[in-house]
Structure formats: C-alpha cells, structure tokens
Amino acid sequence: MFSFGTVRIVTLFTALALFFPGKLVLSQEYNKRSDYVYNFENTDAKIVSVTIVNNTLELPVFTENYQTAFLEVDIRATFGNWLSQPKVELNSNGVNACQYFEFGAKGLRYINLSEFIQKKNSFIEFDFDRCHITNKKVRLILFKNPAIENKNLLVLAPHPDDAEIAAYGLYASNRNAFVATVTVGDAGKKMYDELYSNDTTHYLKKAGLRLWNSITVPMLAGLEPQNMINLGYFDASLKQMYSDTSKTAKARYTGLDNINIYREQNISSFLDSVYAAPNWRSLVNDLKYIVEKEKPSVIVTPYPAIDVHPDHKLTTVALIQGLKELNYMDVELWLYTNHYVYDEMYPQGKVRSLVALPPVTSEESVYFKRICSFTLSDNMQSDKALALEAMNPLRPDTEWHTTRGSRKLYWKTLRENIRNTENDYYYRRAARDNELFFVVDMKDLLTGSILKSVIGDINFK
C-alpha cells in the first residue's frame, strides 16, 4: 500500500514532467539564443527571396523540380515557452506538418518545407505557438535530390539499429539496398541480467540478439536476406583499433578476440569466404570488399564531424580510407547523425514532427554539397516505428518481470520521459516526418580542407 507521502512524490514528478519539460531536458552545449550559421554559397542550393504576409507564404512557381526546401526565419520564443515547447504548424490544402524549436530559441532557424515543395503547393499557412518571427522578407533555400530507387544504395550502421534510426524510410524505398552493420552491439548497459547473472554470458547473449536484429529487421522493409550483413566487430572497439592499427582489439565485456564467431551467424553468404580480425586494417578491407562487390552510387553513413559517438565517426573514417585506396570516387556520401555532437535532444519535438537542420556554431561546422530531406508517408512512419520496436535494446529490459522490477521500471520510465532520454528518445527522434542527410561527393574529399571539415576532430581524449 502506497503512503500518502509516496502519492505526493509521484504527483510532483508527474506535474514536473507535464508542465515544466523545458527545465528538465538534457543540457545543450550551444547557445540557443543565437543564429544557426549555414553557408549555402558554395553548394547546389537555389536561393529565392520571398515574403510572409499575415503568416502566409505564397510560393513561387518553379520551372524546375525541387525536393528539399528550407525557409530561413528569425525566430523568437515568447513568454511561457518554458511551459510548452515552441513550434510552428504548417498547413496547405490538407497537407499538415509541425516543426519544434528549442526552449528559449532566438535567432535564425530553418523551417523544413520540403513536403510542400514536393507536392507543388501554391501557399503555406503558418501557425506559430509560443514563438513568432521578426522578419517577413525571408530566404527560401532549395535543393534538387534525384530519385534513388534504382541506384545501388549502401547503408552503413555502426551498431544494430543505427540504420533504422537514420534511414529506414530511405532504404525501404530501394529494394536493392544493402545494409551493413559494423558491430554486434555487445556493450552498453545490462538488459538481461535477471536472466543471466554471469556478465560474460549476459553480453554474449546480448550480442547474439542484437546481431540477429541487424540481419533480420531490414527484411521488414522488403530487403532480401542476402542484402544484410553484420561484420561482427566488437561494440566500442573502433577507437582502440584506430588508435593502434598494429594491434587487435578485444571485446570489452566478454574478452573475445575472434569476430568470426559472429560473422558465421549471418544468413547472407556474402562474407562466407572472407576471414577477418578485430583490427583497423581488417575493417577497411571489409568495407572495400563490400564496395567492390556492390558498386554503390550512394553510401549512407554517419557524419564524423557532427556525430559524437567514436564508433560512428570511425565507421566513416574507415570507409573514406577504403574508397581512397580503391580510387572509388564516383559515389555520393549521404551523411547522417544519430548522436548530434552539440545536442542529444536533436531533433527537437515529438514523433511524426519534422526533422529540421541541426544547430551549428560556425560556417565551418557542417560541409555539404546539398541537403536531402527524405519525406516519409504516414504509413512509412508507422512502419519505421515498428522496425524500431523489433530492435530489442530499444524495448524495456527483463527487470519488468518482477514486481520490484516493475516498480523500478516505472520510476525509470518516468525519469526518462521527463528528460527525453534513453529508449523513448530513439522513437521520438526517429519516427518522424522525414529523414535528413548532408550529401557530399567523394571526389571533393580529396581536397584537404573539405576532408578536415567532414572528418572533424578524431583525436579522442
């Protein structure tokens, strides 16, 4: 029986979660009251000056087709924005969308109009909530993104679930897509210790489960089993492999030094003749082998400079090294971030809302030739949420099997809902109206300054 004091505590926490979310979110390592700084001058962007009148934008008639569009506005959060997150609702001829801004937002921001441009709407009505814009004459930034349904598409995922979080809708649109997951996900928090008290056994079982997730979930999108593989490298080992390329890495929690026991579990025969070791040279060779066999024209991979996770950064560093060694230049890199370096709350807002441009601190922060906002239908958003549900680590762990564990899980879930962290966070940021990619031509990375901008700082502390 709960005491009156316990009830009061529950009520207090619930009130905090409902009425003061802005005070309780994760800290953000940038100034929310400053401009986003994007340089579109040396990109493929077409920039048009337009005017907002009575919160309505009359869209120009374009002779060319554009698929991605952003409206540059000067935003101001208004009084009371700490009680409810600032947002703008967009409407045009039955097409509706919603984009959120940071609590206390001030300065230049970019409203994603891509879906409206794709459907050739003639106008867009804006309904600002807890915020307003100060400029009526604004810039419309447009990009062309040719269809990729018939292109050879390679998706690289540092861990099981990264491909689904970043690009499930994209690869589901291409039945010839190939999904390669680099690690087995054998690290992180304990999730099944109620079943396996021995740490080594626990992490071996977790690795097996996550590996299975990575080579089966893409089938929900219609991909053939032959087109999904797991390379078997140990989670959180790429930093060690990169820092000393002469040595092999060991699994952090199991002590294993043989990744082939994981590679043998692939359904696909793609890696049957390829032996590998947990070292940097082997990873680069694996990625070269995939590229040589699949001959992709588009590779979806993390953006090293703006993704904080070492495994994410180094997956793309290894890829770029391999592409250079192959002299494989006729390929586009579609770069994503699942752990944005300045703000783990990115993208802002709720499920089924728009993914906007991330906050940047300087013109050098993000290099791109163009930007692609890939729109997901309502059904595809539901399919993506279901695919995430099929990823076991995104679901509650086994502590809920007991009464004590259920109570613990309740408090844990409440705390995470208040902070927008952990499991619900991945659904919140992934099951969205669109997926966002920064597009870079591989041949441009032969220029040292551009390569440095894309790679960023990989001198890990």
Are the C-beta atoms of residues 378 and 115 closer than 8 Å to each other? no
Mean pLDDT by 10 residues, the chain (461 residues): 54 49 49 94 97 97 96 94 89 96 96 97 97 97 93 98 98 96 96 93 97 98 98 98 96 97 97 95 99 98 97 99 99 97 90 96 85 98 97 85 78 66 72 98 97 90 57
The four Cα atoms 89, 91, 95, 99 give a dihedral, to 10 degrees, of -20
Tell me what pLDDT residue 417 has: 64
Tell me what pLDDT residue 7 has: 52
Are the C-beta atoms of residues 419 and 269 closer than 8 Å to each other? no
SS3 80: coil
Please name the CATH architecture into which domain 44-141 falls: Sandwich (2.60)
* Closest listed residue to residue 170, CA positions, set 345, 335, 329: 335
d(C-alpha 95, C-alpha 325), whole Å = 47
Maximal C-alpha separation, the chain? 70
Residues of the chain with CATH 3.40.50: 151-338+376-430
Q: What DSSP string describes 263-302?
A: HTT-SSSTTTT----SSHHHHHHHHHHHHHHH--SEEEEE
SS3 307: strand
Residues of the chain with CATH 2.60.120: 44-141
Which one-letter amino acid corresponds to residue 264? E
Q: What DSSP string describes 157-219?
A: ESSTTHHHHHHHHHHHT-TT-EEEEEE----SS-S-TTT--SHHHHHHHHHHHHHHHHHHGGG
d(C-alpha 441, C-alpha 1), whole Å = 63
The one-character DSSP state at 353 is: S
Please provide residue 33's backbone torsions phi and psi, each rounded to the nearest 5 degrees: -105, 40
The one-character DSSP state at 340 is: B
d(C-alpha 52, C-alpha 350), whole Å = 26
- Residue keyed to tokens 């921001």: 109
d(C-alpha 410, C-alpha 413), whole Å = 5
Tell me what pLDDT residue 110 has: 99
Tell me what pLDDT residue 43 has: 97
Q: Are strands 46-53 and 137-143 parallel, antiparallel or unpaired?
A: antiparallel
Tell me what pLDDT residue 418 has: 60
Look at domain 151-338+376-430 and name its CATH class: alpha beta
